Structures are given as structure tokens and as C-alpha cells.
Amino acid sequence: MEYFKDKVVYQIYLKSFKDSNQDGIGDLRGIIEKLDYLEVLGVDYLWITPFFVSPQNDNGYDIADYLNIDPRFGTMEDLDELIAETDKRGMGLMLDMVFNHTSTHHAWFQRALAGDSEYMDYYIFKDGRSDRLPTNWESKFGGPAWKYAGHLKKWYLHLFHVEQADLNWDNPKVREELKKIIRFWKEKGVRGFRFDVVNLISKPEVFADDNCGDGRRFYTDGHRVHEYLKELVRDTGIEEMITVGEMSSTTVENCIRYSNPEEQELSMCFNFHHLKVDYRNGDKWELMKPDLMALKKLYIKWQIEMQEHNGWNALFLCNHDQPRAISRFGNDGEYWKESAKMLAVSIFLQRGTPYIYQGEELGMTNAYFSDIEQYRDVESRNYYKILLEKGKSKAEAIQTLAARSRDNGRTPMQWNEEMFAGFSKHMPWIPVPDNYQKINAMEEEKDPDSILNFYKQLIQFRKSRKALREGNIAFLYEEHPDVLGYVRYCDGNEIIVLCNLRKKCVELKEAFEHCKYVLGNYEKVEIGVEGLRLREYECVVLEKRIGAIH
Ligand code: GLC
Ligand code: CA
């Protein structure tokens, strides 16, 4: 069952990856066109964001039919071809299962709305008057988490968009329906699954007001979540497949249980604590410079505790819900190349399975949109209004979105210097950032020193060393304000990773004698007896061999 430890996953945000039929929207055939690129990059699995039938209120995370493909993304034949072509290249597809909620356009919800009590029990409806919300919980996209269905005199729960109604997992029929969906895609030849916000599926028995938060403490890592995951995995026979759960506001204790192989729940977990170190007082919409010491401490906590209890982390800095890491923790101007490579190393060689989000391997940056009309995401549009209501000026609200909007990670993949970055010949559904003539795959393929070529080396290096695939981790310079340092070790082989997180030079007293330089983001460093000087955002990877290398 160690099948996923040596693997690298690449996340494809379908809508923005490659448009094959020139309608401005990425699609399945677009992925087929780019499989050679992904094969050369060296990734093993492709996680594709949802392509199921959907009204697209939340870009496909609002699913109206889990067993059919939305025509704007292609056909079942296209998917069959994509599966066959990925298989041929020794890669596998991971599908995104959005099981906490369905679209309100789903047939189940439509029957519920028509008053069919069997289907009302698929969701979370509460009786009540239209002027009295069942609880004061807030939607993750802003506003109340309940919507009134007047003709039923009932409220329904939506932790996300009003058109994403939460499913009632306590109903065994719902669980059976969801298992059928997994079996269906498994039989198609899909090789793994990502489970969307799966730690929110178990709701409390009693729904009460939250006097000190937005309600999340009542439903996050809920009391039956582990039981439900075990049942889902066992009854669909996916124990041997790669699975990852997206865990919202979770704890390390729960992630140990989700990912410890003995529990037979999931292969690994995404958690987001390290991506909140630039939220002022934990509020995403209040800007703050990233607290790099807090970032380090979170890495240390999650790495060490997961290791001690045999849990497994999904390693990532970017996804479709996050601004670009290079713009956030690095420097997307003067030290663009150096800091992109350093950030890659900083996360990639930790203990866990690394994920690359499309464009990250090119050093794609935030979008720097300057007008609300350029934004597409419902969360951004909602919060723009909320920020104005709170008294922020338009300029401040735009500045906040420019740093925090999920659209920063959703702009079209920058393939080449042609119009629309080679993503499409048609105006894309979301604007292309201005920097595509410099930052694009074609340019970087030509440059041996590019971020893209560095990622290729990094992937091969990770695969070539058992210490990186399976070894333990220990941290170095834990209290150092600027340097993230760690060592991975196994069978007498040690890999030492040193990352200067800041735009300044740092002197390390230690000489790292008997170490060989293997990788870095500047020209090769001589390792001597003198100590080590790290330049702006410099990272070096060193190796010490005692025994044979595996
Ligand atoms: C996850 C997805 C995000 C979506 C939300 C609701 O966080 O990654 O894109 O909006 O779940 O499904
Ligand atoms: Ca298209």
C-alpha cells in the first residue's frame, strides 16, 4: 500500500488549462493535446477539477449530474480517450468528488423542492419561519448558510453557494448513491480520487448558534466523519487507489486518522493552515505580509506530528482556490526565477506527496486585475460587496481581491507568446495576465535554466532517492528567522535542504563538510570548511552518503 509515496500529482483546472475547440473554455480534448508536455514534466497522476454536468455557479463544484460530462468540457468518448492516452504514458487520472453538497439543479434537490419527503431527507432542511434563520452560521462565500424555500416553509443548509445544498450523510440512502458514483468512475478506469471539503460531511445532531465563530466548529471533522469515510472506501473497494481529502480548518489529530493506512480511510490530506499565515487575525480579507516564522512552525508541526503517527501529507502551495505562491511568499519581480525555484524546493522535498498546480511549474503569478469586471469567482464578487458595505473604498477592495481572490490561480495556462497565451484563439472566459509573453511554457522549454526545467530535475531527483520518497524528516535551524532547513534520511543517505525565505543574504556557520551539492537555484555552490552563505531566496540541496544510495 505504499503506492503513492513516490508519486507526483499535477492539478489541472480544466476550465483554464487548454481550449481545443476555440470557445474560450478549457476542455478534455485540450488535456489530451498537452499530455506529452505533462509526460515530459514527469508527473504521475493528473487530478482534474470537476467536469460533470453543472450550472457552473462555482465552476463545476456545483454538480447537477455526477455521471455525465458537461458538454462544454467534452463527451464521454473524450474522457475514454483521455484515460487511454494517460494510461499509455504511465500516468493516471484522479477525479474530483464533490460529495459534501450537490447543485440545487441536481434531480435529487429538485424532487426535494417539489415536496418529495424521501428526497428532502437527502439534504438538510429545517422547519421555520422566513424571518428566523435556524442558526447564525455563515456561508464560506459570505452571507448566511441557510436559504428559505418559501413554499415548503423550510430552510436548507448551504455551507457554500446558495445553489450548493449540503447533503445529509446521516441518511444511508445518500451514502449508497455516492458509492454508486465512485464505482461508476472506477470502472471507467480512473485511478484515484480527490474528495472536496470531505471533512465537512458529518453534521451535528443538534444545530445551535455559534457565539464565537461562523459555525464551522459544529460541522468540521464532525462526529461521524471517520466512520463515513471508512464505509465509503470499504464499500467501493478504493483502498488501493490514491485518494486525497481536502480538509477545511482541520486538526493534525484528525488528519492522522484520515491518512494513517491502518485506518483505511484516505491516502493523504490537504490542510490549509500554512496558507493562512498572511491573514490578519485569521481573516482572509484583511491583508498582512506573510509571517514566515509562522509558516515554518506550521511545516514543522504538521511534518513531525504526521510522521510520528504515520500520517501522510499532500504537499502543496498552490491550487485553484489560492493566490499564486510566487506572488505571495516569493518575489514575482526581480527574483522571480530564484524565488519560484526556492519555493518549489521548500515544499517538494518534505515528507509527503507533492502536488503541482498548473502554471506553478512556469512561475505563473497573480493576475493583478484592476477592475471588478475582470473577476469571475462568486466568492470574490460577494466579498467585493461585503468589503464595500464594511466601509472600504473601491480601491481598497480591489487591492484586497488582487491579493486574495481565487481567480489569481484560475487565469488561463500560459502556453506561448501568441494571443491569449496560446490557451485559445477565442477570448478566454477569464482574462490572461499581462506577463504571458515572458512567462510561458514555450519560452521555458527553450531555456535550460528555466523554472520549468528546474521542476523536471526536482521531480526526477525526488524519485531517485528513497530518503525523499519514504525517509524521515528532521528540521534544522528551527528558530532561524530566515532559513527553512530540513534533512530527509533513510538507510545512511541524507538529503539536506536549506532555503533562504527572504530577499537578503544569510550566513550559516555550519560548513556541511562531506556533503555533495546536488541542486540549487543559483550557480553551483562550493561546499567547503568555511560555512555557507545563502543569497537572496537561495536554496541548496546537499547530499551525504554513508551507505549505498537507493
Ligand atoms: C473546495 C473547492 C472549491 C469549492 C468548494 C466548494 O474548497 O476546492 O473550489 O468552491 O470546495 O465545493
Ligand atoms: Ca473549449
Q: What is the CATH number of the domain that holds 136?
A: 3.90.400.10
pLDDT, mean over the chain: 97
First to last CA, the chain: 19
Query: Is 138 part of any domain?
Result: yes
pLDDT band for position 511 (cuts 50, 70, 90): confident
- Residues 44-65: what's their mean pLDDT? 98
Last residue of a domain, one of 120, 148, 166: 166
- Residues 139-143: what's their mean pLDDT? 95
pLDDT band for position 133 (cuts 50, 70, 90): very high
Show the domain range for 536: 470-544
In one letter, which amino acid is 414? Q
- For cell 486585475, the residue is 369
Active-site residue (options: 19, 27, 58, 196)? 196
CATH number, residue 519: 2.60.40.1180
pLDDT band for position 3 (cuts 50, 70, 90): confident
* Residue 548 pLDDT: 52
103 C-alpha to center of ligand 2: Å? 22
Active site residue 262: no
Of 197, 270, 275, 406, the one to substitute when testing ligand 1's pocket (max ligand atoms within 8 A of C-beta) is 197
Q: Assess contact for 387 and 396: CB atoms under 8 A.
A: yes
Query: Is 517 part of any domain?
Result: yes
In one letter, which amino acid is 280? R
- Residues 422-432: what's their mean pLDDT? 98
Query: Is 357 part of any domain?
Result: no
Instruction: Show the cell assigned to 257.
Output: 486518522
* Residue 1 pLDDT: 45
Active-site residue (options: 44, 96, 246, 482)? 246
Tens-digit pLDDT profile for residues 66-108: 999 999 999 999 999 999 999 999 999 999 999 999 999 999 9
Q: Assess contact for 286 and 397: CB atoms under 8 A.
A: no
Query: Is 520 part of any domain?
Result: yes
The answer for 59, left when phi > 0, alpha when psi is -120 to 50, beta otherwise, is: left
Last residue of a domain, one of 166, 193, 213: 166
Tens-digit pLDDT profile for residues 234-284: 999 999 999 999 999 999 999 999 999 999 999 999 999 999 999 999 999
- Point out the ligand 1 atom lying closest to the alpha carbon of residue 406: 9
Query: Is 175 part of any domain?
Result: no
* Residue 514 pLDDT: 87
Ligand 1 contact via 61 beta carbon (within 6 Å): yes
Query: Is 132 part of any domain?
Result: yes
3-state secondary structure of 20: coil
Residue 530: how many CB atoms within 10 A of its CB?
A: 10
Q: Assess contact for 10 and 356: CB atoms under 8 A.
A: yes
Report the nearest-CA residue for atom 5 of ligand 1.
61
Q: What is the number of structural domains in the chain?
A: 2
Query: Is 484 part of any domain?
Result: yes
φ, ψ (nearest 5 deg) of residue 393: -80, 165
Determine the Cα–Cα distance for residues 174 and 181; give it in Å rounded to an integer.
11
Query: Is 341 part of any domain?
Result: no
61 C-alpha to center of ligand 1: Å? 6
- DSSP for 509-548? ----TT-EEEEESSSPPPP-SS-EEE-TT-EEEEEEESS-
